[in-house]
Amino acid sequence: MPRLPARLALAALVAIATIPAHAAEPIRVGVTVSQTGPAASLGIPQRNTVALLPTEISGREVKYILLDDASDTTKAVANTRKLIDEDKADVIIGSSVTPASLAMVDVVAEKQVPMISLGASSKIIDPPGGARVWVFKTPQNDSLMADAVADHMAKHGIKTVAFIGFNDAYGDGWLTEATRALEAKGIKLVDTERYARADTSVTGQTLKMMAAKPDAVLIAGSGTPAALPEKTLKERGYTGKIYQTHGVANADFLRVGGKDVEGTILPAGPVLVAAQLPDSNPIKPVALKYVHDYDAKYGAGSMATFGAHLYDADLLLQQAIPLALKKGEPGTPAFRSALRDALEGLHEVVLTQGVANMSPKDHNGFDQRARVMVTIQDGKWVLLH
């Protein structure tokens, strides 16, 4: 008999100790990005950005669980399962690249967990419906950027274009979109060439493009490897206009490209030239804050626009989580499904890369405000008006 009260006391103590912990169930955000492998130049700034994110949203603690998928599709799927099954993630952010993101779609749909991809291709969210109701993405669709390029070309009297792109999903996506956008503007695609990210020479492709005598060349590559065709074109005396894609928007491209990439024209998210945006632009303060925070932590001029995609994903969550909390507790299916609904209903959310208006038909939500045309002058990105 005398032992019972002691047990009761212990049970009471345990109960008291567990109640507050239960009440403050944190929101778990699973992040899988490509910190190593071919897409490391995207994944590393994204990983760095996680450290800048708020650890509390509407009074709830937010826990970020960060994994590396090594730019590998299989690893990204394994990470997604681990984040959902073991870490009990309420939402997944990632992966950095399109192929890995596409493979994750079925997993998050099966587990009914919302996912915000950082991949570029519109294939991740289109066509809407089916498994994709759970999937959102923050980078601008290729089609939006391709339209901007075609627009600019048409305005500047360009009639013929040669295309050289990566021999992978990025180059494929751009070739499809550019073909469509150029055709709509009546511009002729006179030659298409491909090359690999690690190629040491593109002399053959360059000679063939120049033989077709295009008014402009469009290069679809990401990061420093996109500088190689441009340098070879200049070496061989090409004098026409050169267009790049938003995949090159980091400081390393300027470093490797040097004077050979002066005058290049490319579409980009507004965050790349945040300081040059007019004050009336609502994106300016949001983008400037990100640039400032990133540079303060990792060194001046170190910001790459790829990290901003992850920051934007978190800005979306900051809007959606308070709404979802009214419907359910984190860690429950009700919360995850409410979070998905809240994300889909977001309206006029100002991000670093644009203004998002989500709908059941559009899980990206960006319009023309999400892109600006930029050129390179004296080794700096300069906004074109």
Q: Which residues bind another protein (CB under 8 A)?
A: 36-38, 40-41, 43-44, 164, 167, 193-205, 207-208, 211-212, 223-225, 227-228, 235, 250, 252-253, 255-256
Residue 214 CB, nearest approach to another protein (Å): 13
C-beta closer to another protein: residue 258 or 282: 258
C-beta closer to another protein: residue 228 or 356: 228
Do the strands 60-68 and 160-166 form a parallel or antiparallel pair, or are they unpaired?
unpaired
Rounded CA separation 138/114 (Å): 13
User: Do 304 and 295 touch, CB atoms closer than 8 A?
Assistant: no
C-beta closer to another protein: residue 42 or 62: 42
The residue among 122, 208, 223, 204 whose CA lies nearest residue 166 is 223
C-beta closer to another protein: residue 175 or 350: 175
Cis, bond preceding 282 (omega within 30 deg of 0)? no
State how far the alpha carbon of 374 is from the alpha carbons of 22, 149, 268, 277, in Å.
Answer: 50, 11, 7, 11
HSE, side-chain direction, 13 A CA sphere, residue 120: 27
Residue 206 CB, nearest approach to another protein (Å): 9
C-beta closer to another protein: residue 133 or 256: 256
Residue 351 CB, nearest approach to another protein (Å): 24
One-letter identity of residue 228: L
Residue 71 CB, nearest approach to another protein (Å): 10
User: Do 286 and 350 touch, CB atoms closer than 8 A?
Assistant: yes
Residue 284 CB, nearest approach to another protein (Å): 28
